[in-house]
Amino acid sequence: MDVKYDPIIFSQIEALDLEQFIIGTYLMKAKTSDLLMRAGAVAVEQTTGTWMPVPDETPEVRRNHVGRIIGVYLVPGYEAVLPEGEHTCIIRIAFPWKNIGQQLPQLLSTVFGNISMTNNLKLLELEFPKSFTAGFKGPKFGIEGLRQLLGIEKRPPIMAMIKPCTGIPVDVIKRQFRKLVLAGVDIVKDDELIADPAHAPLEERIKACMEVVEEVYQETGKRVLYFPNITDRQDRMLEKAKRAIELGAEGLMLNVHASGYGSLGALAEDPELNVPLLAHPCFAGAMYLGESTGMSSHLVHGKFMRLEGADIVVYNSAYGKVPSVRERYVRIAQTLQSPFHHLKPTFPSPCAGIHPGIIPTMMKDLGNDMVIGAGAGMHAHPMGLEAGVKALKQAAEAAMNNIPLEEYAKEHIELKEAIDLWGIYDPSKTIFELTS
């Protein structure tokens, strides 16, 4: 009997050896009443098939390589009558990962390749088996390793950004860098807007900042990690990474999303580049902000960054200047921190508009294993930069000891000045209530 629905494509998860498959979950909108066939077309398009049968797509090829529909769920969950019009559903497809190999660019080409252009399809989730993940080394340091490098046992490390974003020459950068380091920050990163401009070339910046790192280390015994931004065309980026290490850099930063998936991984898996990596989120919004296009933010900022070996992932907090659904910002952090086969956990660093008044709320959401990243919320403190760093640390101390900020501020003038200026974020309206 010739059935309409190919029994290989329309499968059950229980029929599959899950080590052989990557499972993608999609949000799909469609007007057709045959949502099963529509889902099947997606699975076939991204594996063996095209719009007409072709001679070399033998039954054996299909059996071994085609994508499997393992779930189609209508939202709302109509059972008796399907109304006319557009339907929203969740579909789950299992892709044989041997089609892909253990690499991100080809993974994306397969799980969200041509179908990325079909509209009304958003990639919500990817689930990776151990066998696929084994091809990725992940973070070289991870949360534990980076804590050891920094000599910080429990509290969130404090990360500064050089500000303004672009336009200042190397001597001003060096002066500001020294101030930041002496003010007590643990990490300094370049702004994402400075890569290798003529007014502040990368090599000169690294030389200048590493001189300061050494000086301060000699003077105080404290060693700050500097992450220079090596973003460039991929061949030059790889050269710059090696050159940065020669010049003494002890960390590297990349605008990963503008550079492409696989670019950070190339750094992470190079044994010569034995330094932690920081992933910056700029340009990522182009890929995740569509409501029924693109991919979920916890894939973009979370799973892909961890597979690629980021030790710190900067992204936008739900409480700052760049809007973000709170559930998304928390889920990104969870994706970075919680177990993921053999991959070490990665520090989330929700940034953009962070100031001391937000810290306790963020630490309640994410725990201590986050990097507190602040730009203006440190530089623009009314008592100056050093006070700005102190106020952030004081806010973290208050949170770790469960002391309300207002109370801790009574004994800590820097914190008091900060919350007088910027206020205290009030989470009461947004906090999750089991009974609500």
Site residues (CB under 8 A) for its own copies, limited to 108-167: 108-110, 112-119, 123, 163-167
What is the identity of the amino acid at 375? G
Among 157, 251, 276, 281, binds its own copies (CB under 8 A): 281
CB 208 within 8 A of CB 226: no
Residue from 35, 149, 212, 237 touching its own copies (CB under 8 A): that is 237
Which DSSP symbol is given to 116?
G
Work out the burial of residue 245: count CB atoms within 10 Å of its CB; fewer than 13 is exposed, 13-18 middle, 19 or more buried: middle
Choice from 12, 172, 215, 246 touching its own copies (CB under 8 A): 172
What whole-number distance in Å separates Cα of residue 67 and Cα of residue 111?
10
Backbone phi, then psi, for 410, in 5-degree steps?
-60, -35
Size of the site for its own copies (CB under 8 A): 98
Q: Is 20 in the site for its own copies (CB under 8 A)?
A: no
In the range 395-424, which residues lie near its own copies by CB under 8 A? none
Told to check if 430 binds its own copies by CB under 8 A, we report no
- Give least dist CB 434 to its own copies, A: 29
Q: How far apart are CA 213 and CA 210, in angstroms?
A: 5
- CB of 401 vs its own copies, minimal distance in Å: 28
CA-based R_g, the chain, Å = 24
Near its own copies by CB under 8 A: residue from 9, 23, 66, 206: 66
Cα separation, 43 vs 68, whole angstroms: 6
Kindly identify the residues of this chain, within the stretch 27-56, that bind its own copies according to CB under 8 A: 46-56
Task: Tell me if 34 sits within 8 A of 10, measured CB to CB.
Answer: no
Closer to its own copies by CB, 184 or 201: give it: 201
Q: Interacting stretch for its own copies, rule CB under 8 A, among 27-35, 138-146, 279-287, 428-436?
A: 279-287
Pick from 33, 148, 234, 274: which binds its own copies (CB under 8 A)? 234
Identity of the residue, 108 or 224, whose beta carbon is nearer to its own copies in the bound complex: 108
Catalytic hit among 280, 355, 390, 416: 280
- Compare residues 9 and 66 and give the one whose CB is closer to its own copies: 66
Give the residue, chosen from 282, 383, 403, 413, that forms a contact with its own copies under the rule CB under 8 A: 282
Dump the DSSP string for 266-290. HHHT-TT--S-EEEE-TTTHHHH--
Return the residue of 203, 211, 270, 397 that touches its own copies, per CB under 8 A: 270
Tell the smallest beta-carbon distance from residue 422 to its own copies (Å): 9
Measured at the alpha carbon of residue 79, what is the angle toward residues 78 and 85, in degrees to the nearest 5?
40
Cβ contact 221:151 at 8 Å: no
Three-state DSSP class for 101?
coil
Beta carbon nearer to its own copies, 383 or 400: 383
3-state SS assignment for residue 230: coil
Q: What's phi and psi for 348, nearest 5 deg? A: -80, 145
- C-alpha 307/C-alpha 303 separation (Å) is 6
CB-nearer residue toward its own copies: 380 or 400: 380
Q: Of the ranges 23-31, 285-293, 340-348, 393-401, which one interacts with its own copies (CB under 8 A)?
A: 285-293
**Contact with its own copies (CB under 8 A): which of 11, 25, 133, 176?**
176
Closer to its own copies by Cβ: residue 143 or 230: 230
Residue from 18, 258, 400, 413 touching its own copies (CB under 8 A): that is 258
Whichever of 262 and 397 has its CB closer to its own copies, that residue is 262
Instruction: Judge contact between 315 and 335, C-beta under 8 A.
Output: no
* Residue 59 found at the interface with its own copies (CB under 8 A): no
**Taking contact as CB under 8 A, which single stretch among the options 26-34, 141-149, 196-204, 211-219 is the one that binds its own copies?**
196-204
State the DSSP string of 17-37. -GGGEEEEEEEEEE--S-HHH
Q: Annotated catalytic, 240?
A: no
Nearest CA among 144, 155, 145, 143 for reference residue 389: 155
Is residue 163 annotated as part of the catalytic site, yes or no?
Answer: yes
- Is there binding between residue 352 and its own copies (CB under 8 A)? yes
Helix (H) or strand (E) holding 373: strand 372-374
Rounded to whole angstroms, how far apart are CA atoms 156 and 185? 11
Q: Give the start-end residues of each E strand in 224-311.
A: 225-227, 252-255, 277-280
Looking at the Cβ atoms of 136 and 408, the one nearer to its own copies is 136
Is residue 302 part of the contact set for its own copies (CB under 8 A)? Answer: no
For residues 313 and 206, give the distance between their C-alpha atoms in angstroms, rounded to a whole number: 21
Binding residues for its own copies restricted to 68-107, rule: CB under 8 A: 98-101, 103-106
Catalytic residue (one of 163, 222, 242, 341): 163
| CB of residue 189 to its own copies, shortest distance in Å | 14
How far from 285 is each of 96, 106, 295, 296, CA to CA, in Å?
29, 21, 10, 10
- Name the residues annotated as catalytic: 163, 280
